[in-house]
Chains A and B, each alone.
Chain A
Amino acid sequence: DIVLTQSPDSLALSLGERATINCMSSQGLLYNSNNQNYLGWYQQKPGQPPKLLISWASIRESGVPDRFSGSGSETYFTLTISSLQAEDVAVYYCQQYYTPPWTFGQGTKVEIK
């Protein structure tokens, strides 16, 4: 099974600061036939279901603020929040859909300092 390891487990930043969350995969997620990385990012606020932020490692979902961006390829991926807002307090998960069983990272909790 593919293991996704996120770092850090948590981070506390001031409003307006940049947040960087990393996701490392135990095997490559780049499908050569279409040159796509099968990696998504989700945001989960307390008491709510997860919300999809990014597909294909870097494609932002409609309605997601442009302060959220995804990057990376193969085995190393990053979710960046360019300027942290109060409403971004949440747990963030990466997920691979390259091959079943699909797996999530353990989550990264983002808080305001």
Chain B
Amino acid sequence: EVQLVESGGDLVQPGGSLRLSCATSGFSFSGYSMNWVRQAPGKGLEWIAYISISTNTVYYAHSVEGRFTISRDNAKNSVHLQMNNLRVEDTAMYYCARVGGGATLDFWGQGTRVTVSS
């Protein structure tokens, strides 16, 4: 069974940093690209970061570029999101999601909540 479990969400002050992790199991992690998608309270989905199988290719949403860094550890079947210089508007549920054979996001974790507030 494919599983993705996010962790690391917390309450943090503006300007602070957090590192989110997504532990995966049930599939050959090194063979799949991964993404982070977030959802602000009561709002829609916002894609924020992508990392390819080999880590050669990463993409970011404009809203997080230069502040967030996506990485992966194929030996530990995990993907991470380093978030620096956090803003109030980064408050959201953060989901990791796998890119499936259809190039869509075929499996999602339950999410980890990030709150940025003073």
Contact = CB atoms under 8 A, between A and B. Distances in A.
Contacts of A106: 44
Interface residues of B, number: 23
Interface stretch (A10-18, A49-57, A72-80): A49-57
B72 to A, nearest CB: 17
Main secondary structure of the interface of B (DSSP, over half): strand
Which size bracket describes the interface of A in this complex?
Answer: 20 to 34
Q: Which of B95, B100, B104 has the most CB of A within 10 A?
A: B104
Contacts of B106: 52, 55, 61
Interface in A80-100: 91, 93, 95, 97, 100
Nearest to A56: B102
B45 A50 contact: yes
B3 interface: no
B12 to A, nearest CB: 22
Interface of A: 1, 38, 40, 42, 44, 49-52, 55-56, 59, 61, 91, 93, 95, 97, 100-107
Interface of B: 35, 37, 44-47, 50, 59-62, 95, 100, 102-111
